[in-house]
Structure 1
Amino acid sequence: MKKLFVPAMLSALLMLLQSDGELSAQTNMYGTGQWDRCEFGNHRVVIEVNDDAPAAQVHIPWRRLDDPGNKSVILVDASTGRSIHNFHFRAINKEFADLIFEPATGKGKYYLYYLPYKNTGSWYFPNTVYPAAEKITDPQWNLKYEGKELSQAHVVRFESVTEFDSFDPMETVATASEVEELLLVNKNKGFLLFPEDRKHPIRMDSDIPLRWVQRKDGEPFNAIVMRNEFFAFQLGIYTPFRELRNVQLAFTDLLSTQGATISKSVIRCFNLAGINWLGKPFTKAVHIQKGKVQPLWIGVDLPSDTRPGAYEGEITVQAEGVDRKVKIRLEVQDSLLTDRGYGELFRMARLNWLDSKIGLDDSIYKPYTPIQLQGNTIRILGRELRFDRYGLPDKITSDFSGSNDRVGAPARDILSGPMRLLVFRNDKELIWKGGKPVITLKTAGAVSWKTQLRNGRSLLEIDAKMECDGYIDYQVTLSAGEDLALDDIQLQIPYAHEAATYMMGLGRKGGKRPEHWEWKWDKQMANNMLWLGDMNAGLQCKLKHESPDWSLYNFSKTGTYKDWSNEGLGGCTLHDEGQDKGRVLFKAFTGRKMLRKGQTIHLNFGLLITPVKPLDNSHWNERYFQADPPMDNWRKEAMKKGATVMNVHQGNLLNPYINYPFITTDTLKRYINTNRRSGIRTKIYYTVRELSNYAPEIWAFRSLGDEIFTPGLGAQLADQFADDGLGGNLYAKGGSWLVEHLRTRYDAAWHTPLEGGEYDMSIRTQGLSRLHNYYLEGLAWLVRNTGMRGIYLDGVGYDREIMKRVRKVLDRSADSCLIDFHSGNNFSASYGMNSPANQYMELFPCINSLWLGEGYNYNEGPDYWLTEMAGLPFGLYGEMLNGCGNPYRGMLYGMTSRLGWVGCDPSSVWKLWDEFGIQQSRMIGYWDPNIPVKCNQDDVKVTVYQKEDKLLIVYASWAKEDLHIGLSLNWNALKMAPAAVSVYAPGVNSLQEKQTSLNLDDLPVPAGKGGFIIISKKQ
């Protein structure tokens, strides 16, 4: 969706990323200055001319990473601000440049801006264009001074526009001669070692910094640490002589002279091993090509009872055929770091979060109840599943009723018979024999069972896990004990005809179910899921990959799921077999498949029984302000109009850096506390999928290869920049900081303009990785340390397993935390022809509300509203976005727009809620056959909100012309007498005038509009 565009924090605040509150280490040759980066770029050389000669020469040892040969520069007279056109490079390369120029005003300072750029593309996905060098020097002037001795100017210093943009010290490149000398001294070593502290993340992967040639290879690492600190540092490995294969680290205990020990068991390297997002340990193979630099980030998890003193030990770096040692010395101070160092970004202690298992368990979470297991029947909130001897469901029922606001009604069948997994060979179904399913796990939140079946030498294993929210994960493997030429493998789900009213999925948008539907696998369309159901009973089936993945739009990363798709032969069909048979048959099939002896295939799938929970009437008091106006007005506007929940997006003073809110937590905390005193709960935008370039851990994450960030082309090296065909300009994807510092292997993602021409520039993250563990720990930390009460998700960059952890982390960190989820409409070819309500359905059990917005057509029919946008069949209320929606149609589903978003103001409808007392009412929608109010026009739908003594009738038209309608009321069902009630139309600002006299048999309804009527018992 559209992100907010407001000024961001001052650059000085950003420097907290670089140090303990001080600037990063510099010599006097490096500093910052002030200028318009949009005109001149981020870097300049300050040159001093000491006399009034007509021409001067200066040697510029700029030590650059990029190739400057064809890039434009801008030379400016500091005293006048005017550009100088007469200049010429006698020599220019990555290491240095020799510049002759005409000092326009004689002696004084001159600025050479050496990476000027322009942004093209959109502001949120820009390209950086580096203009090609132009011939602007007067040829006669050039000839006049060619080869002559000139007055010598000198470089005062190199400046960047902010400290954050600086190349110093870790991108100040050592020269070829300096490196040659270093290698000569160390020629007998297999590789070189350079320990580095946390304040100087290693950034370059092929060059080494000047800082390293000024030190000795393999010198001991010394640091001052605190008790209870998670201490992080780096070990830089440089391989000028040979490739290193299978790099490993071995740690010794750290021993003090007083006999105390820091055990080697508390030391680990993030590059070599870790805990994945599912809580499973893994190891990584690290190979370092010849001529490359590899940082290894190491963490020391210091216990709180560590005795003060100096501790010494060794790290051995091992690779195939070579090893080396480096000493480590930690001085432990006699002070306790209570939060492990997480609250101070410069410490990099949060790297510890990468291996967190927070929220990983099978416990129940709100509002779910403990699972009841009796034999092969599993009872959860509002639903029941029974599995057969194969471990597959043979009965699924729902006892939700009304508008999903209650459970306990007579059970309704979702299936008309057992689900079946059929294997055909030689036109016959294979018969599988084996024992009964065995329960392998039983907790309050989950039940697992396993079935092993055999046909001859072949084995069919069905592992299932059902959770308290109605999700069932099936892991199915078929192992061939002999060569098998199979005709087909089919998963058959017979839906009960009565329940299978609506459909979403398999490339079809939400609405009434067709009689027949066919679908085939397509690499560009990750729409491999189907939901069939109605308001109170439904089932989603999603065909799944062998390995967990979160392919939202296409299968470009994983390919179509090979065992299901079977090289294009697989697919799905849906067929209505008629009311008399009472079923709608869904069939997923593989087509003909040849299995060789010993081959195993995976036919995994997931099921979700809907609704996932009863509708929560807290919705009526959760009135959203979606922050968009200037920040100073947010709270005032929210209080004035009656909002009770505020979302703080990214890209503003409170939360400037996308998915990295930790830089401004003090500001956030103050704002959130003031909101709370005003009766407003505050939630913030915080997710994964992309990460701000201001995250201090970005270099540590990059050192992990492609584990955290997607491996895009980035900017490529400067000498490989693409020519735009318009005069030789060099351009690269993303903002200038990404191009100049990250350079390679990144995908530019969302960019937000900040103050002073700066940008928050994010890069894309992997769909599932250890970053999600970090994210979850960060979520808990934010709730505890800022007082926020939930998150706003604009798209979701993680799967159901992470979403469950998010829910549990929030619930355990504070009461009343909310998760609301927003998405634009993904039902287009570019997004894989997916309806987000179907695409994200497996996350819905953990979410409080929906805001499905851009690209939705509010003129589509009621069936589309119900299935695609409203959320009601799944147990969630939703809200409207595009053009603020249609307030009449929205109220049929309990939906309004959000205050503050692009001029939307639902406050008049909120006032209607309060006037009527909607919090104590029960919604009875037009979809309910027992609705007590009916309309005589099919194009006008009616929803009733019923209390004991009062009734709110909402009606809305889909007709293209003005109508007159009649409403008929079932007075007995309403327990009202027509003569003992008052009927009136309440005044709703901008929607309808108050009317005290109404004829329910003749109500005018303008096209596309509707109205509100209150009926109450006379006192």
Structure 2
Amino acid sequence: MVHRSKAWIVAGMLLGAACTGHAQALVTQQPLRWNADALGNHRYLVRVDAPATAVRVVIPWRRRDAHPENVAIIITAPDGSVVSNVRRGTIDQASGELVFKAAQAGTYAVYYQPYVNKGRSNYPTVTYAEPKDTADAAWAGTVGDASHWSRLPQARVLGYEAVDDFDAYTPMERTATPAEVQAVLAKHAADALLLFPETRANPIRMFDALPESWAKRGPGGTFSESAQRGEYLSFQLGAWAPRAAVGNVRVSFGDLRADDGSTIPSNALTCFNLGGTGYDGKPFTARVDVAAGRIQALWIGLDVPASATPGVYRGTVTVSADGVASQSIPLAITVGEGVAVAHGDDDPSRLTRLRWLNSTLAQDDSVVKPLLPIAVNGQTLGILGREIKLDASGLPAQITSHFDERMTGISKQGKALLVAPMQLIVEDDAGKHVLGTARMPQIQVDGPGKVHWQVAAAAGALQGKVNASLEADGTMVYGIALTATKDVALRDIRLSIPMQQDAARYQLGLGRQGDRAPDDFNWKWQVKNNQDGAWIGSVNAGLEFHLRDENYRRPLNTNFYQQQPLRMPVSWDNGGQGGIHLRNEDKDYLAEAYSGPRQMKAGDTLHYDLVMRVTPFKTIDPAKHFSERFFHKYGDLDAIKADGANVVNIHHATPINPWINYPFLEPAAMRAYIDAAHQRGMRVKIYDTVREVSDRAPELPMLESLGHEVISAGKGGGFSWLQEHLDGDYIAAWHVPENRDAAIINAGQSRWHNYYIEGLDWLARNVGFDGLYLDDVAYDRTTMKRVRKVLQAHRPDPLIDLHSASQYNPRDGYINSALLYMELFPYIDRLWFGEEFDYEKTSPTYWLTEISGIPYGLMGEMLQNDGNPWRGMLFGMTNRLGWSAGSDPRGLWKLWDAFGIEQAEMIGWWVHDTPVKTNRDDVLVTSYVRKGSKTLIAIASWAPQKVDVTLVVDWKALGLSPARATLTAQAVNGFQPQASFKAGDAIPVEPGKGWLIVVE
């Protein structure tokens, strides 16, 4: 997402942009009433009956912005010209007094929030224009001072207008006047908390000002609403603390009863603000406090049973708080004869989907393809292609990979990662103590996809409790609590991971991009860097590890890391004394995480938590990869199919998916497009990432009421809609100027992920999409597993591809994209790495570990500057059709098809017995072998100059005769000319380029 390229707008055809970050397209919209960038989004129309030197008007705007006196006002005449002779009188939130010259009779427009739009078009910086005196001095003199203005001709206020319906202020954003507020307070002088019931049709949008409607009707009263049987009914209570803060607000419910005795039990009601079910499936509670002068929206849901007898159900909702008397609001819910379809979820504006926030859909320990159930054999745990044998400490004693080097198969012969068991070592004045116990851990099975174990161990003066689990994808999670049994001075607490040197060939993370594992490297904790671990391994065997404690919170990513950075783990960081040391030793490669000296008091506990993942996660499937041809753009399906593509990625900002990460508002159009694709044998994937959410989401005001559970804290700003309709504490995100779609950043872990999972299930059932295009997502493995489960429940082979711009920069905390997202890799199908990835000045090992995905069981494609097609073919990578004018893989697709690449075995340059090599280390070869028939040789150079190379061929492995073999390079536009060679010929290779040669 972060480093986006140009958007390409195809006028008239409404073809979405092929921008990997956020595509832009000309989405069909009703035209704006006026140029908002020049005049702002809001105006009042006033009528002047006759020309006059000066007329007066008082605009009853009831504004929610705190300081209207600091914002300019623009008045335009009936002919559209700007009136320069204007004077301002009393300007406050309630109203604005203006005097202006009316050279014409007719309707004048008063624009009262004009803004200046600067910054990038997709990250605008909107500031509101300051007042300027444009009046002619002579004219101003004739008007006199404000005390005489009431004698002037009075313009008549006709009414309020917004630039479009979406930008309009709602009735809930019209503030009460100070007099109206005082009248309410006078009637309720003894009340510390005033309650205002409100329907879902009028979401509470102001948290620091009383709405006009509330002031006029007053607090309390019966809440009345209608619902269908089976509908999920959402409503609100506004809790206002007008004089002093109110703490620990609580809500309780009584049963709802109808006159005939029918009952809706109290447990059918819930208050979302007070807790629910977290993204991880665990229940939680939340404390709600209301600051002095603030309004807290309490959102309540009622699950009306489908079996409910029609009638009026009455009950109460009771609100209490510390030191505040309880108050009850009567409820009168009329349940109609009709039965709601899908609880009412098909209409997002009804806010029935709020119940999705507490969903546990796909929150289980089942296994998704191609992963296998965990096999438990004593202390040895078998998963797809890997085995983990546990030591008495609960840590791995050995990890074995059975993936072959080609990454296309799993063999009986395993490759060991460790030379000795992992150890957690405590060192004090008495010496070195290894955390351990005499008893082996007992494995408990939670389900096919998860097991766990516990160990009570000791290390010197520290008692250890180890709670650990393994999941079918290869993820091991350790919660290790070390408690001092007495006061103790520690020299160090460290984790030792002794790896086989042959397994520890490559390393990425800790501020290093993918390369050969360093001989000696030391790393220290820094909050400015999103770094807490590394991956070390070879293509077919590796280990990812991360160091954490009990306070871990997922940082923000993609442009926003510094606004919610990594929390330094108190245990591992130890005030900057901790770090990680990587080094080659005589017989092994040692990764050692240390924390340094410290004092612990008796009873003190430190959490040395650890997350590890064993790679690869699965085999690669080159045949499937090459058969899926991506068109990364919305467009005409027949034209796309004619170009050879069969998978279409649909961004947001397109006619069928207009709003970022809210793909629910054009379901009929989306369904029609997807159905048409299926009729043509094509598949359609949509953009939906959850990292940010569009301002078009009807749930947004409710999400604001949850504080920062869902919406990340920030400095506000951004596009005008956000500043005018949100409370100011948010991070402004992506904006599409063509359809005025603005987004804000979500928290990395929240109940919005539950909503997201339910939303994907709804889309799968209602629009029939085939998968997801993920663009720098913010969620973790827990949510990713659920995504895969939901999609596989509806599609036998759903497609999920992940794009990332390079995160290796100061803005993103120098995190490797592969490492950032590795936890998601078991559940996705393809990578697209990405903007700002360097395909020219980086090494083959960088390509292998950072870009290709192959050591983790994935394949991918290139993006930045259309990639390097010669080097890309060493890894089975091309670019995508539709991305840009230069992004055209059709020539390579045709060559693949002519050769029959889907029937070939891909043997990468990294395989020790690869059948084709060159005589140079800086010119590499990957072979696509159809044994006994023909072989496609992909050659790519990292040599600094043009070189001649000869091929070193194992003809027997190819099943070909060198005497009879022909070597032919088919002409491919922009890639290579037609050429023929003989076995043993010198082949010229340009720097940074290469060849595709068919040997047959």
TM-score range, shorter chain: over 0.9
Given the alignment, which residue of 629, 635, 643 partners 1:623? 629
Change (3 A) 1:966 1:456: closer
Aligned equivalent of 1:722: none
Change (3 A) 1:242 1:523: closer
Residues 117-151 of structure 1 show CA distances to partners (whole Å, capped at 9, x for unaligned) of 11011111111122211111112212212226211
2:591 partner amino acid: F
2:860 partner amino acid: G
Residues 98-117 of structure 1 aligned to structure 2 (within 5 Å): 98-105=97-104, 107-117=105-115
Residues 423-474 of structure 1 show CA distances to partners (whole Å, capped at 9, x for unaligned) of 1111511254453212233421112111111357742111221111111111
Aligned equivalent of 1:561: 569
Aligned equivalent of 2:930: 947
Aligned equivalent of 1:614: 619
Aligned equivalent of 1:277: 279
Residues 387-786 of structure 1 aligned to structure 2 (within 5 Å): 387-426=390-429, 428-430=431-433, 432-454=436-458, 458-551=462-555, 552=557, 553=561, 556-578=564-586, 581=587, 583-617=588-622, 618-627=624-633, 631=634, 633-714=635-716, 733-755=717-739, 759-786=740-767
Given the alignment, which residue of 759, 762, 771 partners 1:790? 771
CA contact (8 A) 2:554 2:566 kept: no
Local SS of the residue matching 1:170: helix
The reply to whether residue 825 of structure 1 matches residue 813 of structure 2 is no
Residues 352-388 of structure 1 show CA distances to partners (whole Å, capped at 9, x for unaligned) of 1110111111111110112111010011111111011
What RMSD in Å do the two structures reach over aligned CA positions? 1.7
CA distance in 1, matches of 2:255, 2:507: 62
Deviation at 1:111, TM superposition (A): 0.8
CA distance in 2, matches of 1:545, 1:905: 47
CA distance in 1, matches of 2:291, 2:501: 62
Given the alignment, which residue of 935, 956, 959 partners 2:918? 935
Local SS of the residue matching 1:151: coil
Aligned equivalent of 2:70: 70
Deviation at 1:997, TM superposition (A): 5.2
Deviation at 1:623, TM superposition (A): 1.3
Deviation at 1:889, TM superposition (A): 1.0
CA contact (8 A) 2:691 2:746 kept: yes
CA contact (8 A) 1:9 1:754 kept: no
2:928 partner amino acid: Y
Deviation at 1:338, TM superposition (A): 2.1
CA distance in 1, matches of 2:545, 2:615: 11
CA distance in 2, matches of 1:592, 1:338: 63
1:72 partner amino acid: A
CA contact (8 A) 2:962 2:983 kept: no
CA distance in 2, matches of 1:747, 1:497: 45
Aligned equivalent of 2:18: none
CA contact (8 A) 1:434 1:452 kept: no
Taking every aligned residue pair, what percent have the same amino acid on both sides? 40
CA distance in 2, matches of 1:640, 1:884: 22
Local SS of the residue matching 1:840: helix
CA distance in 1, matches of 2:459, 2:495: 18
Deviation at 1:497, TM superposition (A): 0.8
CA contact (8 A) 2:426 2:460 kept: no
The reply to whether residue 338 of structure 1 matches residue 341 of structure 2 is yes
CA contact (8 A) 1:434 1:454 kept: no
Aligned equivalent of 2:215: 213
More displaced 10-residue stretch of structure 1: 662-671 or 767-776:
662-671
Deviation at 1:409, TM superposition (A): 4.4
Aligned equivalent of 1:963: 947
Aligned equivalent of 1:717: none
Aligned equivalent of 2:317: 315
CA contact (8 A) 2:433 2:460 kept: no
Deviation at 1:999, TM superposition (A): 4.7
Given the alignment, which residue of 855, 862, 869 partners 1:873? 855
Change (3 A) 1:706 1:997: closer
Change (3 A) 1:465 1:554: farther
CA contact (8 A) 2:42 2:113 kept: yes
CA distance in 2, matches of 1:990, 1:766: 44
Given the alignment, which residue of 110, 126, 129 partners 1:128? 126
Local SS of the residue matching 2:940: strand
CA distance in 1, matches of 2:577, 2:30: 57
Given the alignment, which residue of 362, 385, 388 partners 1:385? 388
Change (3 A) 1:502 1:242: closer
Given the alignment, which residue of 231, 243, 246 partners 2:245? 243
CA distance in 1, matches of 2:767, 2:896: 32
CA distance in 2, matches of 1:92, 1:1012: 73
CA contact (8 A) 2:464 2:480 kept: yes
Aligned equivalent of 1:24: none
CA distance in 2, matches of 1:528, 1:938: 34
CA distance in 1, matches of 2:512, 2:125: 36
Deviation at 1:574, TM superposition (A): 0.8
CA distance in 1, matches of 2:873, 2:698: 46
Residues 769-809 of structure 1 show CA distances to partners (whole Å, capped at 9, x for unaligned) of 11111111111111221111111111120111111111112
Q: Give unmatched runs, 5+ long, in structure 1.
A: 13-32, 715-732
Aligned equivalent of 2:884: 902
CA distance in 1, matches of 2:970, 2:170: 67
CA distance in 1, matches of 2:437, 2:91: 78
Deviation at 1:557, TM superposition (A): 4.4
Residues 957-1002 of structure 1 show CA distances to partners (whole Å, capped at 9, x for unaligned) of 1112222211122122223323454442233333223345545422
1:116 partner amino acid: P
CA contact (8 A) 2:254 2:315 kept: yes
CA distance in 2, matches of 1:436, 1:929: 38
Local SS of the residue matching 2:991: coil
CA distance in 1, matches of 2:102, 2:702: 44
1:899 partner amino acid: L
TM-score (norm 2): 0.94
Aligned equivalent of 1:29: none
2:868 partner amino acid: N
Q: Give unmatched runs, 5+ long, in structure 2.
A: 5-21
1:298 partner amino acid: I
CA contact (8 A) 1:525 1:555 kept: no
Residues 185-222 of structure 1 show CA distances to partners (whole Å, capped at 9, x for unaligned) of 23343432211111100111121111112214211111
Change (3 A) 1:880 1:409: farther
Local SS of the residue matching 1:663: coil
More displaced 10-residue stretch of structure 1: 272-281 or 95-104:
95-104
1:874 partner amino acid: Y
CA distance in 2, matches of 1:561, 1:498: 31
TM-score (norm 1): 0.93
CA distance in 2, matches of 1:99, 1:748: 34
Given the alignment, which residue of 297, 300, 309 partners 1:298? 300
Q: How many equivalent pairs are there?
A: 966
Aligned equivalent of 2:367: 364
More displaced 10-residue stretch of structure 1: 829-838 or 124-133:
829-838
CA contact (8 A) 1:84 1:104 kept: no
More displaced 10-residue stretch of structure 1: 969-978 or 219-228:
969-978
